[in-house]
Structure 1
Amino acid sequence: MHVKDVRFIGDSLNRNMFVSLFCMLRQVSSDVKKWHPAKADRGFTFLQYNLTIAYHRTYLLARYGRWSPNTKGGALESLGYNDGYRVDIDVPDSKWAEAPSFHDVVIINTGHWWWAPSKFDPVKSPMLFFEKGMPILPPVSPDVGLDMVLKQMISYVESKMRPGAIRIFRTQSPRHFEGGDWDHGGSCPRSKPLLSQEVEELFNVENNGTNVETRLVNHHLYKTLKGSSFFVLNITHMSEYRADAHPSKAGGKRHDDCMHWCLPGLTDTWNDLFAAYLNFVKDHS
């Protein structure tokens, strides 16, 4: 197949991959139009090849927003909830909802925001899940909510994309905070890749460390994607070694950035894997 349109849908790590792909393609062609197609945050068309790539920012894939109690009371209010975030598990975020309907390739991710207590505090501002406009009772934890959202969004994309379109779900990008999380003095001072033993110390779920969400998210992804039409682009384990590849203190941030990746860098390799998969599909279609 001739790919004319590639959409990245997800959080800032998918933006990281999108920017990497743009830079790689820019080396081939400088005849580029910048625009904002179909509610995308940003998009570029390489005119010589009639190829468009775009990025749609979404944190949870599903629609979410601040929830406040009804003064007349309700099911959640009766359980003592007085603040939180409403997550509609069966409604895609409007920023990307139209994208699957008319594109050749979608690359989707989610994960980092599901384990983000600084945003979704489990006590002060918990995730409150809704289905068909009604709260799910009893309320469920974020990991259960993630399974629900993944199931609904995978089904949604499969129902919207045309036959022959390529559906890709990228696995979790690992963080490398050591000594604490990003807002508690965590840093990533490494100057060379980790050894295998160091990788296990940092990411083994049983250790319940700062970066534990990496493999936890993947567990949910693989469980839900099993039997779907999605190809899983597994970038996790190879990336776990690269504690040396983050911006860290570069860019003047107030805290170390041990989550995103330097460019050029590791995300270029992710795109090499993506290109290899496209070639595989082409050779076997």
Structure 2
Amino acid sequence: MLNLDSTPTNMTTHPTQDRRILFLFPLALGSFFLLGTVRVLLDNLKNNQFQFLWQSSFSRDNNKFLRVPINVTLDEVIEESCNVFEGQWVWDNVTYPLYKEDTCPYLVKQVTCQRNGRPDSLYQNWRWQPHGCNLPRFNALKMLEMLRDKRLMFIGDSIQRGMFESMVCLVQSVIADGDHSTIRVPPRKIFRIEEFNASIEYYWAPFMVESISDHATNHTVLKRLVKLDSVEKHRKLWEGVDILVFESYVWWMHKPFINATNWEWRGGIDGNCFNETQPIRGPYWGTGSNLEIMSILKDVINKLQINVRLLNITQLSEYRKDGHTSVFGERRGKLLTRQQRSVPKAYADCIHWCLPGVPDTWNELLYGILLQDYRNH
């Protein structure tokens, strides 16, 4: 049974030499972002060199696809001295959102707040601006080129699924009709891009280690049991993936709710995110953030024998109390009824995020880091 005072420090991975592992741990509210990397082989891609390499598709052996090198300009490179996680949300209704809800058919009902009746769309027009530097604007073609002949897998719970769907929506606009497919093989979803011989995947594994909540749809149990030293079952499904992005947090909390109420939701009703339309201003750490767990996690990562990056996006996400689905989402697979929406104290969801929205920024950060690594390789 889960020890409430412990974290999964016994978890082991089996990295291979030729892949990058990205561990992503968003907090349920603020979305704590843990990004760890093992360098992926990019020997055939040299930035700023105009060369053309023919690559074979592993799914269509007889077809060849032209590889176009990525030209990374100086203004797309994040300065080494810049902490992209310190900054502020700025209003931008010119270049944001990066895509429209009604133009991306891959979003599940849980995150389509506009379609579900949310009256405002202001949450879609906030851009994260780091202090002293800029994030590169997301370029779908460059992202796909970096994913050419590779697999990107997001591993975690429904919050992680939101990041997976965000990434699919960010790239799907530049993919030709008929050149992509979606495969659902629970507990996985696979978005396959044929032209780039690439896939973006999602894998349900809320604890990362083996647990009795691993079923993709039937995971609500009274007492959750985990095997702290067992990752083998899941590892078999992510073995061979080039880029792994892990996420977990709320599943390790000892209470079934996040402690983010009262003064943090000043504009809300009955102490939750209902009716919130503006981000929090100024320096802020939400009460849902456990800084002790963050410290332990950082210590564990520093002891690992692989190159792991900790990208803590908790604080920047916790400013966005306006970005949650509130009463415009689902509960147990069904949209809330009108009667349920009238009782936000009982039914408002202040954990999941509307899309387009905050998870797009997580992917912009991921894109920026991958682009930086690509240029430096």
Q: TM-score normalised by the shorter chain: which range applies?
A: 0.5 to 0.7
Paired position in structure 1 for 2:366: 274
Task: Return the offset for 1:86.
Answer: 3.3
Cα separation, 2, equivalents of 1:6 and 1:58:
16
Question: 1:101-142, CA deviations, whole angstroms, 9 ceiling, x for partnerless residues?
Answer: 2111000111111115339xxxxxxxxxxxxxxxxxxxxxxx
Q: Which amino acid aligns with 1:19?
A: E
Task: Return the offset for 1:93.
Answer: 6.7
Q: Which amino acid aligns with 1:237?
A: Q
Cα separation, 2, equivalents of 1:57 and 1:186:
30
Task: Return the offset for 1:186.
Answer: 4.8
2:207 is matched with which residue: 60, 73, 79?
Answer: 60
Paired position in structure 2 for 1:284: 376
1:32 and 2:157 correspond: no
**Greater alpha carbon shift after TM alignment, 2-11 vs 102-111:** 2-11
- Counterpart contact for 2:289–2:314, Cα < 8 Å: no
Structure 1 pair 101–9 and aligned structure 2 pair: CA distance change class (3 A): same
Matches within 5 A, 1:138-149: none
1:248 is matched with which residue: 309, 326, 341?
Answer: 326
Structure 1 pair 51–97 and aligned structure 2 pair: CA distance change class (3 A): same
1:87 and 2:226 correspond: yes
- Counterpart contact for 2:277–2:322, Cα < 8 Å: yes
TM-score, length of structure 1 as denominator length: 0.62
Structure 1 pair 92–238 and aligned structure 2 pair: CA distance change class (3 A): same
**SS of alignment partner, residue 42 of structure 1:** strand
Task: Return the offset for 1:54.
Answer: 0.7
Query: What value does the CA root-mean-square deviation take over the aligned residues?
Result: 2.9
Task: Return the offset for 1:249.
Answer: 1.3
Cα separation, 2, equivalents of 1:53 and 1:274:
14
- Counterpart contact for 1:178–1:186, Cα < 8 Å: yes
Matches within 5 A, 1:79-158: 84-92=223-231, 94=233, 96-118=234-256
Cα separation, 1, equivalents of 2:225 and 2:165:
31
Paired position in structure 2 for 1:127: none
**SS of alignment partner, residue 211 of structure 2:** strand
TM-score, length of structure 2 as denominator length: 0.48
Deviant stretches of 4+, over 6 Å: none
Cα separation, 1, equivalents of 2:282 and 2:227:
40
1:225 and 2:289 correspond: no
Paired position in structure 1 for 2:354: 262
1:178 and 2:261 correspond: yes
1:234 is matched with which residue: 302, 312, 316?
Answer: 312
Structure 1, unaligned stretches of length 5 or more?
67-82, 120-174, 204-208
- Counterpart contact for 1:40–1:54, Cα < 8 Å: no
Paired position in structure 2 for 1:6: 152
Cα separation, 1, equivalents of 2:254 and 2:195:
42
Task: Return the offset for 1:48.
Answer: 1.7
Structure whose residues are more often helix by fraction: 1
- Counterpart contact for 2:317–2:358, Cα < 8 Å: yes
Question: 1:126-175, CA deviations, whole angstroms, 9 ceiling, x for partnerless residues?
Answer: xxxxxxxxxxxxxxxxxxxxxxxxxxxxxxxxxxxxxxxxxxxxxxxxx7
Matches within 5 A, 1:175-214: 177-179=260-262, 186-188=271-273, 189-196=275-282, 199-200=284-285, 203=286, 209=287, 211-213=288-290
Task: Return the offset for 1:193.
Answer: 0.7
Cα separation, 1, equivalents of 2:187 and 2:198:
15
Paired position in structure 1 for 2:56: none
Task: Return the offset for 1:6.
Answer: 0.1
- Counterpart contact for 1:186–1:256, Cα < 8 Å: no
**SS of alignment partner, residue 64 of structure 1:** coil
Cα separation, 2, equivalents of 1:85 and 1:48:
42
Q: Percent identity?
A: 26
Structure 2, unaligned stretches of length 5 or more?
1-41, 43-145, 214-221, 264-269, 330-334, 341-346
Higher relative contact order (CA 8 A, sep 6+): 2
Task: Return the offset for 1:279.
Answer: 1.0
- Counterpart contact for 1:193–1:243, Cα < 8 Å: yes
